[in-house]
Amino acid sequence: MKKILAIILILFTYESMQAGGGWPQQKGKGYFKLGQNFIVADNFFNLQGEVIGITTISLYTTSLYGEYGITDRLTGLLYMPFFVRSTLNEVERRQTGNIEPGDELNSFGDTDIGFKYGLTSGKSIALSATVLFGLPLGKTAGGTTDAGETRILQTGDGEFNQMLMIDASHSFYPTPLYASVGLGYNNRTNGFSDEIRATGEIGYQPSSHWNLAVKVFITQSTNNGDSDGGAGSGVFGNNVEYVSFGPELSYIFKENFGAVASAAFASSGQNLLAAPNFGVGVFLKL
């Protein structure tokens, strides 16, 4: 039951790059979001998918996300976590009374850039192809304390990845519902295993101001990397897997300005943190 109710961290994954589904932005139009994600985790999904206790790790990520229509079919994408703070709590051992010092790391994070191309135009099902490039701009190990560096805190995975994703979306207008699905392959370097990604989303728009969506994200490792490849644990390790789901609620105050809040839950996971994850942000639509 504990595993079923655990909430999974999705900070630097493909979830951040899926605001538009199968619909590209129109030429000169765009969507830009300033977001904040945060997690405080004292549990971890191990390689057997079991939830185990760990010393509390916290992650706070401030990011910019943008979509801009270069043409009516071609959209530029950017996800840039420009400030990432990771901390490790101080621990006092009850038996000995010894104190293991905490640690912290503040850095830039791994950044995604890419393009989405609309494969259909004016069809009932919007089909698009997206290519994303993950730039290893974060730190793979670090942190400073009075007792020295623990070397377990990270803001990136240290590998350059390339992902191809196919998305399909359909609006049920005049019923205020829409649905999207996606399937992709993520090629990873530096000894990491490749990944198969799948997404799903159902959205409800009762008015021009409100949008409520339920999203599902699946990552499956192909286990074709080095047995010791990867940058350790947390959310940046090798052979990370998960099935996550959660709501996202957005509200538009005026024609082009709004706020969004989200959370994500996991039914299963492997080799990553398991703890409450929350996201908030403000966005601008052109």
The CATH number of residue 32's host domain is 2.40.128.130
Q: Mind listing the pLDDT tens digit for each residue in 166-180?
A: 999 999 999 999 999
Residue 265 belongs to what H/E stretch? Answer: strand 265-270
The first and second tokens of residue 88, run together, are: 């490790």
Return the pLDDT at 212.
Answer: 97
Q: What are phi and psi of 210, to 5 degrees?
A: -105, 145
230 φψ region: left (φ > 0), alpha (ψ -120 to 50), beta (else)? left
**Mean pLDDT for the stretch of residues 54-66:** 91
pLDDT: which is higher, 207 or 14: 207
| Nearest by Cα to 213 from 267, 257, 279 | 279
Q: Mind listing the pLDDT tens digit for each residue in 222-243?
A: 999 886 555 455 678 888 899 9
- Distance CA(30)–CA(19), nearest Å, equals 11
- Whether 185 contacts 139, CB under 8 Å: no
Return the pLDDT at 63.
Answer: 97
pLDDT at 92 over 80: no
Return the pLDDT at 234.
Answer: 64
- Distance CA(121)–CA(123), nearest Å, equals 6
- Give the pLDDT band (50/70/90) at residue 151: low
pLDDT at 16 over 50: no
User: For the chain, what is the domain count?
Assistant: 1
| Stated pTM of the model | 0.88
| Nearest by Cα to 194 from 220, 217, 218 | 220
- The DSSP call for residue 192 is P
- Distance CA(9)–CA(11), nearest Å, equals 6
- Domain residues for 269? 2-91+100-285
